[in-house]
Amino acid sequence: MVASMPPKKKDPNAGAPQIGRRPSNPSFLALVGFMWVVAGVVALVKMHASWKIAVGIVFAGIGLFYLRAAAMTVVRRDERTRKPK
């Protein structure tokens, strides 16, 4: 017969456990955002079709969404780690 392990004692100073997904790495989000913005600039400069403006704006807009997500991740992380006074 195998003896069962005793339950772990909870630390009263520990915070609430993480529920759900952890936030994405802000440097990864910023890198992806910059890549999309660069793709938008390249589309505006290198494409010769008449619809290059639409493609460039869409690519740059997607990049701005990623950059905004990176900024919000940094702000939220700062809010969580800030100690109350």
Residue 56 confidence class, pLDDT cut points 50, 70, 90: very high
pTM: 0.67
pLDDT on residue 81: 77
Specify if 14 maps to a domain. Answer: no
Specify if 1 maps to a domain. Answer: no
Specify if 15 maps to a domain. Answer: no
Specify if 47 maps to a domain. Answer: yes
Specify if 12 maps to a domain. Answer: no
Q: Are 23 and 76 in contact (CB under 8 A)?
A: yes
Percent composition of the chain: helix, strand, coil (DSSP 3-state, to 5): 60, 0, 40
Query: What's the domain range around 56?
Result: 26-79
Specify if 13 maps to a domain. Answer: no
Region 23-37 average pLDDT: 92
pLDDT on residue 75: 87
Distance between CA atoms of residues 43 and 18, nearest Å: 41
**Total tally of structural domains belonging to the chain:** 1
How long, in residues, is the chain?
85
> Taking Cα atoms as reference points, which of 29, 33, 26, 31 lies closest to residue 73?
26
Region 40-67 average pLDDT: 92
Distance between CA atoms of residues 18 and 24, nearest Å: 14
